[in-house]
Structures are given as structure tokens and as C-alpha cells.
Amino acid sequence: SQHLAVLRTAGLVREERQGRFVNYEVDPNGLALIAQWLAKYRAYWPARIDVLKNLLRDMDQ
């Protein structure tokens, strides 16, 4: 349950207690934050990979 506690603290999951049971579900707000963070890198990495490919190709010739 330590993993779920970390996810809960990070705001990625939420818990709902039903008697002695605890149900966890993904928190859409937490996922939205991750999506925003990833969006920055979606634009960044393809260009960097292309530069690396070109560099490696030039080194090979």
C-alpha cells in the first residue's frame, strides 16, 4: 500500500473508503497535470532525436 500512498500524495489517485475496504481510482486532475508536463517534451524530443540521427549519420560517413 506504500505505492498507493505515494500516488495518492502526488494527486494521481484518490481513495474511497467503504467500510473496511478502500477503493482507489485514477484522479483525472492528476492525469491532466502529467499530460501538461509531457506536452512540453513531445515538442522537444523529436527535434533533439533528429539532430542526434543527423550527427550519427555524419560521423558514420
- Per-residue confidence (pLDDT) for residue 47, from 0 to 100: 87
Residue 55 has pLDDT above 90, yes or no: yes
Looking at residue 44, what is its pLDDT?
A: 86
Domain count, the chain: 1
- Full residue range of the structural domain in which residue 44 is found: 2-60
CA-CA distance, 55 to 12, in Å (whole number)? 39
Convert the pLDDT of each residue in 35-50 to its tens digit.
Answer: 998 998 888 888 899 9
CB contact at 8 A, 15 and 23: yes
Percent of the chain with pLDDT over 90: 80
Q: Give the per-residue pLDDT at 13.
A: 97
CB–CB of 30/11 below 8 Å? Answer: yes
